[in-house]
Structure 1
């Protein structure tokens, strides 16, 4: 058995710093600016894992559901492009497949806020289909609770913001 050194990932470090500063200060504009600069550096053909995580956080930095939807779709598209490396598609110590329910949930919630209930239900169904990928932990519980909240809001025909992103504990 040999020890495998993990080299620092400067892209993930930049994302983590920007998101951490946003969570501490509440300054979404500065965090968005830093992450948009990073997005421009990576480009639309850059590393799919990085694009997925970056787009996911950028979506959280927009209050407008149409703008958030654009970034959530980019995150899902990038997740689909992440190569299945290692066991279960684990890359950078993260299983991208287990992230899919969250991505679908966020898209469903944005569509719901925009009044597109049929499309929102389709994405909530896609999240439900991938629920088996979630662990029985706090994150899995967060996503399951978010799905319940968004589903109930769809049933009520409610387009209002639910307070925080249903799949994020970052707001």
Structure 2
């Protein structure tokens, strides 16, 4: 989501700078510090839902602990539920609110997979897949769809491992 944000909104521009620190410069800790500073400035979860959503979504990516990653991903999803297409368009974000959900649910599914909660991971994956119609056939849409395909494969491998373990131990 963040890679597409070529926007005049100062807060989103700063969040994008943190994303660049992380993804292009490999400065995960610096990105996390910048995100924490912005989080305080916007008033945390009480801030503008668009800022909260994008910032929490980005902050999740720089967490070292999957439990913290999940907390941030849940914050992003909760904020998305408060967004309107008008607010997103006003900020110059090139997609509808519906286009945010596949990525948000994908990230939640990945957290649950890492935590070994395969049922919840599948639920989130299904929600993400249900929303892919809101994605375009652009680079962002392909990125999310590719992530969904990888997660399907990872969940299948995890389920095979669980079945194998049960057959050996049971």
- With the shorter chain as reference, the TM-score category is 0.7 to 0.9
| Residues 91 and 75 (structure 1), Cα distance of their counterparts in 2 relative to 1, 3 Å cut | farther
For residues 73-108 of structure 1, the C-alpha deviation after alignment (integer angstroms, 9 at most, x for no partner) is 11111111113317xx63412223211101000100
Partner of residue 31, structure 1: 31
Other-structure match for 1:106: 107
Preserved contact between residue 76 and residue 104 of structure 2 (Cα < 8 Å): yes
- 1:66 corresponds in structure 2 to 67
**Could you tell me how far 1:39 is from its partner in structure 2?**
0.6
Q: Distance in 2 between matches of 1:91 and 1:59?
A: 25
Aligned pair 1:20/2:20, yes or no?
yes
Tell me the number of residue pairs that the alignment of Structure 1 and Structure 2 aligns.
150
Q: Does the C-alpha gap of structure 1 residues 141 and 28 become closer, same or farther in structure 2, counting only changes over 3 Å?
A: same
Alignment of 1:72-151 (within 5 A): 72-85=73-86, 90-94=89-93, 95=95, 96-151=97-152
Query: What is the match of residue 163 of structure 2?
Result: none
Q: Do the aligned partners of residues 91 and 107 (structure 1) sit closer, same or farther apart at CA in structure 2, a change above 3 Å counting?
A: farther
Please tell me the root mean square deviation across aligned C-alpha atoms, in Å: 1.8
Q: Which moved more, 1:17-26 or 1:118-127?
A: 17-26
In the alignment, structure 1 segments of 5+ residues that lack a partner are 1-6, 159-171
Q: Distance in 1 between matches of 2:23 and 2:152?
A: 27
Under a length normalisation based on structure 2, what TM-score does the superposition of the two structures give? 0.81
Quick check: 2:8–2:91 contact (8 Å CA) kept in 1?
no
Instruction: Show structure 2 runs of 5+ residues with no match.
Output: 1-6, 160-170
CA deviations 1:50-93 (Å, max 9, x no partner) are 1111011101111322111111111111111113317xx63412
Moved over 3 A (4+): none
Larger helix share, 1 or 2:
2
